[in-house]
Structure 1
């Protein structure tokens, strides 16, 4: 990880990251966000890293139901100032972080297992339901 986005981060960074994540979910789902290029696309935000000074946020996104995720992320980055202005009132921070969208390349299962700490009694278990043909 770079200096701007150190791995782990302080409790404040994590809290602001969660706040940004929630605000973005709300923005994409309830505000009527519409871009013709993203029509029908589902945007998932599994992770947000915030810099130490809380002025930059790296938003990891998974984009489904679109032909090219790279083009969708490029569009989100072009719209980042508009998105930032929309979520700023909900953040209630002195400075709203600049938003940088990147494609999430880490599967959810890996992130889930990485959350395991040695103090836990059990290793987390991922259950997959197999489809059965009738």
Structure 2
């Protein structure tokens, strides 16, 4: 009991990280090889940046981004429409007790990196950084 209380908020476990990375690789391969029977999804190039799993490994949230960042809503709709087929394809490549439910969200980390880069390129910020 004491261990559980001290682990709260400590971040994902090694097992969660390992399973998330395995799911990410497998999902990327499935999407890259166009193994899903949906021409709309197979036409898109989608990057899977990260997969986070719940502590019980029954839910996996995939952070995705279509190539070039356009058609985000269309990509999410296609992934969500085919989530059951994607789940089966991912499960074939893994040896887990349970096949995790797949959830898809847009990966905003690329946008945040661009905003940070633009902020650091501003003249007043560069001047302040150069003073140090």
The correspondence for 1:97, drawn from 97, 100, 122, is: 100
- SS of match in other structure, 1:49: strand
CA distance in 2 between counterparts of 1:66 and 1:107 reads 9
Q: Does 1:9 align with 2:12?
A: yes
Structure 1 stretches (4+) deviating beyond 6 angstroms? none
Q: Which residue of 2 aligns with 1:83?
A: 86
CA distance in 1 between counterparts of 2:14 and 2:42 reads 36
How far 1:35 sits from its partner (Å)?
2.8
Q: Which residue of 2 aligns with 1:38?
A: 41
Q: Which has the larger radius of gyration?
A: 2
CA distance in 2 between counterparts of 1:7 and 1:41 reads 36
CA contact (8 A) 2:16 2:54 kept: yes
How far 1:99 sits from its partner (Å)?
0.2
With the length of structure 2 as denominator, give the TM-score of the two structures: 0.69
CA contact (8 A) 1:40 1:65 kept: no
With the length of structure 1 as denominator, give the TM-score of the two structures: 0.68
How far 1:34 sits from its partner (Å)?
5.3
CA distance in 2 between counterparts of 1:31 and 1:59 reads 17
Segments of structure 1 that go 5 or more residues without pairing to the other structure are 1-5, 111-134
How far 1:39 sits from its partner (Å)?
5.2
Segments of structure 2 that go 5 or more residues without pairing to the other structure are 1-8, 114-132
- SS of match in other structure, 1:44: strand
- SS of match in other structure, 2:25: helix
Q: Does 1:29 align with 2:54?
A: no
